[in-house]
């Protein structure tokens, strides 16, 4: 999995709900191989804005967290859109 690409693609989906500075910061972190920090910040933004995310995006976030062994990043509080 290309972490930079995945993180940036998820940021771009939800960027309207985040401040421009946060979007820029997360993208810059991902581009500078700070994937763990970028992912942690992205999950925090999603949680803080109480966003409803797709199951696919949730699974991508979970997979990246598991692969990077980021046990400190808790995604249990993220809201996932129900399957229609």
In a domain, 83, yes or no: no
In a domain, 82, yes or no: no
- Domain encompassing residue 60: 3-70
Tokens of 49: 């804005």
User: What confidence tens digit (pLDDT) does each residue in 35-69 have?
Assistant: 999 999 999 999 999 999 999 999 999 999 999 99
In a domain, 38, yes or no: yes
Confidence (pTM): 0.94
Looking at the predicted structure, is the pLDDT value of residue 32 above 90?
yes
Neighbours of 82 (CB within 10 A): 7
In a domain, 75, yes or no: no
Q: How many CA atoms lie within 13 A of 30 on its CB side?
A: 23
Counting the structural domains of the chain, the total is 1
């Amino acid at each position: 999995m290309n972490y930079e690409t995945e993180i940036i693609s998820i940021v771009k989906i939800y960027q309207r709900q985040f401040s421009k500075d946060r979007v820029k910061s997360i993208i810059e972190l991902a581009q500078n191989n700070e994937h763990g920090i970028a992912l942690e910040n992205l999950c925090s933004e999603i949680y803080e804005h109480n966003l409803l995310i797709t199951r696919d995006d949730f699974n991508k976030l979970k997979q990246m967290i598991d692969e990077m062994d980021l046990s400190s990043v808790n995604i249990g509080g993220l809201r996932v859109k129900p399957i229609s």
